Amino acid sequence: MQSPQLQRVIGYFHGTVFLFSIIIGAGIFMSPKGVLKYSSLNVGVSLSIWAASAVVSVMAALCHAELGTTFPRSGAQYFFLKRSLGPLIAFFTVWINLFSAPAENAAFSLLLAGYIIQPFYPGCSVPELPKKCLALAILCCLGILNARGVRGIAWFQTVTTAVKMMVLCCISLTGIVLLVKGKKENLAAFEKAFDGEIPDAAQIAEAFLQGLYAYSGWGVLVRIAGDLKQPSKNIPRCVITALTFVTIIYVLVNVSYLSVLTPNEIMSSVFTSDLIILVNYVGFSSWIQLGLMMVGLLKLRFQEPNLYRPYKVRLPFVFGTIAVSLFLVLTPVIRSPQMHYIYVLLFIFSGVLLYFPFVHFSLCSTYFDKMTCFLQLLLNVSPVSDIDENALTDGRALQKNSSEITADKK
């Protein structure tokens, strides 16, 4: 009997569309307010942070691509961290994602439900009960769609991407037309753009967390690397293609916002400041994980120099990503410590209370194994084998054959 393996059905086109659709989401509608807020309503600083966030995202995504191409399997982050930094650090990432990802999905579904229901309640706020019911229905539909397989998700992402692109292109074209007309009220935000208050280091770090959140999602291809055709080639190509188009769209959309609305009008938009705090929380925890991954990448470079790496990122990109991670994590905590950052750190370290008794010492492991088997049968899922021959022989076999041919000639 053959060992269970994922089918590699996603190519370059669908991978790019999938990544493009994951990146472009609610972030572009939420982050402009957060970036402006922490930029002290300085338009020039805000647009600069949007452009710099794109550069940082590309740099981090290319570093992340080495991880996915070296270990082209689903759940590559956990496998990579366990191999490079040990099981405790790998457990921390699972512990963070176990709660942060569902909370993020719940918040976005509530935001989407609010946008959908708002036209039926003109002039007043949306009632909580129908909004929560619609949000729950959205989550259930997405869960069912995910359970039907990755091919269906790829086509669904293609359709939703086309819809989102139509909306964002309309917004961008409207702003461009208004700027070309050159009316004074449309150009007011860009005249003397840097004359406002300059934010301090802590505010810049939090503005970056808001901007980077809008670009987040570029690591999804590493998570589904086991479903990709030729991951060593397609992961870097998809990342560069998708992020280039996203950067152009985001800059144009922000320019369009500022050509129609003043910074104060943007600050008075439809959602509460709690979502801005949520974005900071998610971004803060994500960059802790990304910094750890970069440290693990460096460690494997020196610890296992002969490990087959179809794609190797340049070391300045790795050091740059580590520097950005340290800046985004340490600056807000040191310069202006907020309680939600303290809560995040306490939550992360609370995982130690569960790791040592239940993972390290394997207490109650029999009950957990039975529960795992029950859930696998209930949800019709199966873990892949430890060695994915299709993934590992992607380029390694070619390397081996070329060396054998060279030896025969000699």
Give the model's pLDDT for residue 244.
87
What is the residue extent of each domain of the chain? 12-353
Domain 12-353, what fold? Answer: Amino acid/polyamine transporter I (1.20.1740)
- Does this model's pTM top 0.85? My answer is no
Rounded CA gap, 106 and 100, in Å?
A: 10
The answer to whether the beta carbons of residues 74 and 224 sit under 8 Å apart is yes
Chunk the chain into consecutive blocks of 10 residues (it has 410) and report each block's average pLDDT, rounded to whole numbers. Answer: 58 80 79 87 89 90 83 76 88 81 76 82 81 88 75 71 81 82 73 79 90 84 70 80 88 86 77 71 85 91 87 89 93 79 80 83 79 81 53 42 42
Q: What is the pLDDT of residue 323?
A: 95
Question: How many C-beta atoms surround the C-beta of residue 24 within 10 A?
Answer: 24
CA–CA separation, 220 and 279 (whole Å): 18
Q: How far is CA 152 from CA 12, 174, 220, in A?
A: 16, 34, 16
d(CA 89, CA 359): 12
Give the pLDDT of residue 404.
43
CA 399 – CA 240 distance, rounded (Å): 26
Strand partners, 228: 10
